[in-house]
Structure 1
């Protein structure tokens, strides 16, 4: 029997009553409709990188889209004396990094800074993934989705997606307040992504939009570099922080075929080199990669609340959910300065701990249960709130537990 521990990057979660992998667009819609018509709990899962599920059995239906095709409706050749926008369509089940690698190889600019983010194309727009100066919102043209309430397909323009910091109209439909699930649509949004059309630019170079990345490349922010060089630098920076998934997960039966074989081989070889393992050595388990990535969202605060933070706390202009001006600070900074340093555990015997490379990642150090991850999350949340008056909100979708 398949469990969430088999399907998620953090490797925890209970057994699943029914697991379905539709291989057609109609099959995805029918699987969702069948679960909804029977009133069964429904979880549409992508790469399992942004999901933390309780240890008990999930007495519902888990749907994982097995469609992974990428198509280019436009002619990809550049035109003379001008820019060329190229539209690329990807089915929701396509591995996100497979998609990024495809676009870079095709000579397209727009998502190279999002290299190495675990998950799928469908999940990318729900979460509005972002890193190193890019967000997926900046590359999306439209999203094809199934509306579970009105029982119809929609083509949602990017302008109507409600994109914000780690937010979209799709994700909003799941919550009545931060970390508080909505009654009707949770843990799957009202709108189930079927495919995404991206508008990318035909260019072999991209803009280096983040200081840490510029340093790694030896250039200045806003300089232009080959997109392949940007992608490689992003992968190296993410690996150094433990923010790549464990490539060996794709050797397991539950994950087989969900990422292109050539890209699995490349990722495995890079992981071997990082862990200083020989070419003939089986890839060893890297606990720092067994996480949900960044576990807490960077808080966006009203100006008066930000003023109460220590003077050296990071501050960036941001927009509050009501559209007014606010200040974004760093969750990692708050965690570290509240005394929760890299490698922290609730107690030494705990199989869950903060990454030894990045304080923002909660990791499964061995045979952790979801309850161990939850205990660590609560300890960090309580400590940060006591120190700074800020309650951290989890970034992953949390099912069967309360991490408010």
Structure 2
């Protein structure tokens, strides 16, 4: 365990953020547990940071301790004789996510190949329930080892208890603590005979990826082909980290795709993309006000209601009302904001490759990033009546 304090701008992909009062780096799980418990005993402000790909921090000093998660390791668990075509891995939270994907693809294991190129750490993956190109983490996640803030105890939490939904989880909505390890179950397809060579990926479930591969939805190609195609698609959108490409100095997609009521979606232009959603048991909706007064969910739903009557979280909609997911990128573009747009004098800009990303063109301040995000929100709300919600964690910033 080490203590060396550097600016958060040097540790986040958005490249903004001030110098914290204190920084502790844990390289083993034991160090991580010890450091976290010490922090919580002091009752001071704390921030957990790993890959820094989903954090946008204020340029003001963070008045507390930043706990950096730098644990590494991939453990292949014993095979279950009843499921010889499955393999389980337990991964340390600080393991870079894309290195894990590369590791599994090299071994012919499918299940997360379409999540290639996503920056950040493995421990952050269940917080966001990361997803891309037709795959989401929840289809492979078995459990996490979790250090609970309230009790200080370590427990194994099954995926079913994490309330995983679209870019959200119980961890994101208020369950405080630190993910220590992530356990995944993947398909061991190395023995399959693929027509195009190599172990077979899961059926292609995303139209853009199918087009890039020259196949039909539901077809199967090799896991390596899927990884290569996804990396190429992400790179074309500035979504694969590249020091020579300023478009990649971002937090990825800055806004989540809005989920709205079907009746409201009908009021939007016919050209607006939309995808019907069928909430499952984990996302069963409750009426506004049904949560216990003062709970994190109650506060969240109240905030949503104040923002707009149209934009909703899945759990904030009436359980008998159909929901529709919209394209945030389409809403931004059709609100008149084009790729490369920036406010006068600002060094923060919309990516030149993808309107859903806000980028640091060089030396941007955190407030410049926030100002542009507010401007985008305002234009989309004025044009379509929809509030866009940020995907990254905002530290010391408000939109």
- TM-score if structure 2 supplies the norm length? 0.84
In the alignment, the residues of structure 1 paired with residue 265 and residue 373 of structure 2 have an alpha-carbon distance, to the nearest angstrom, of 23
For residues 274-313 of structure 1, the aligned pairs below 5 Å read 285-313=244-272
In the alignment, the residues of structure 2 paired with residue 73 and residue 6 of structure 1 have an alpha-carbon distance, to the nearest angstrom, of 35
Q: Does 1:344 align with 2:330?
A: no
Q: Does 1:37 align with 2:41?
A: yes
- Bigger mean CA deviation after superposition, 90-99 or 324-333: 324-333
Q: Which residue of 2 aligns with 1:205?
A: 200
Contact 1:53 1:400 in 2 (8 A): yes
Task: Specify which of 318, 323, 326 is matched with residue 326 of structure 1.
Answer: 323
Cα offset for 1:91? 0.4
Q: Which residue of 2 aligns with 1:59?
A: 63
In the alignment, the residues of structure 1 paired with residue 8 and residue 176 of structure 2 have an alpha-carbon distance, to the nearest angstrom, of 22
Cα offset for 1:26? 2.1
For residues 105-120 of structure 1, the aligned pairs below 5 Å read 105-120=106-121
- For 2:210, what is the secondary structure of its paired residue? helix
Cα offset for 1:322? 4.0
- For 1:228, what is the secondary structure of its paired residue? helix
Q: Does 1:395 align with 2:381?
A: no
Q: Which residue of 1 aligns with 2:220?
A: 224
In the alignment, the residues of structure 2 paired with residue 199 and residue 297 of structure 1 have an alpha-carbon distance, to the nearest angstrom, of 27
Contact 1:301 1:328 in 2 (8 A): yes
Q: Which residue of 2 aligns with 1:17?
A: 21
In the alignment, the residues of structure 2 paired with residue 344 and residue 68 of structure 1 have an alpha-carbon distance, to the nearest angstrom, of 39
Cα offset for 1:304? 2.1
Q: Which residue of 2 aligns with 1:317?
A: 276
For residues 64-79 of structure 1, the aligned pairs below 5 Å read 64-75=68-79
Contact 1:32 1:42 in 2 (8 A): no
In the alignment, the residues of structure 1 paired with residue 158 and residue 227 of structure 2 have an alpha-carbon distance, to the nearest angstrom, of 27
- For 2:26, what is the secondary structure of its paired residue? coil
Cα offset for 1:384? 0.4
Q: Deviations over 1:127-182 (max 9, x none)?
A: 10000000011110111100110221111111111000001111111xxxxxxxxx
- For 1:44, what is the secondary structure of its paired residue? strand
Q: Deviations over 1:301-328 (max 9, x none)?
A: 0122212211111111124224733110
Q: Does 1:191 align with 2:186?
A: no
Q: Which residue of 2 aligns with 1:86?
A: 87
In the alignment, the residues of structure 2 paired with residue 32 and residue 306 of structure 1 have an alpha-carbon distance, to the nearest angstrom, of 44
Q: Deviations over 1:258-300 (max 9, x none)?
A: xxxxxxxxxxxxxxxxxxxxxxxxxxx3110000000001000
- Which blocks of at least 5 consecutive residues in structure 1 are unaligned? 174-188, 249-284
- Report the number of matched residues: 347
Q: Deviations over 1:208-254 (max 9, x none)?
A: 221111111111111000001100100000000101122x4xxxxxx
Cα offset for 1:23? 2.0
In the alignment, the residues of structure 2 paired with residue 402 and residue 163 of structure 1 have an alpha-carbon distance, to the nearest angstrom, of 25
- For 1:317, what is the secondary structure of its paired residue? strand
Cα offset for 1:24? 2.0
Cα offset for 1:27? 1.3
- For 2:64, what is the secondary structure of its paired residue? strand
In the alignment, the residues of structure 1 paired with residue 61 and residue 211 of structure 2 have an alpha-carbon distance, to the nearest angstrom, of 46
In the alignment, the residues of structure 2 paired with residue 64 and residue 11 of structure 1 have an alpha-carbon distance, to the nearest angstrom, of 16
Q: Which residue of 2 aligns with 1:254?
A: none
- Bigger mean CA deviation after superposition, 389-398 or 204-213: 204-213
RMSD (Å), alpha carbons = 1.5
For residues 367-386 of structure 1, the aligned pairs below 5 Å read 367-386=363-382
In the alignment, the residues of structure 1 paired with residue 46 and residue 152 of structure 2 have an alpha-carbon distance, to the nearest angstrom, of 16
Contact 1:83 1:201 in 2 (8 A): no
Q: Does 1:139 align with 2:125?
A: no
Q: Which residue of 2 aligns with 1:281?
A: none
Contact 2:50 2:70 in 1 (8 A): no
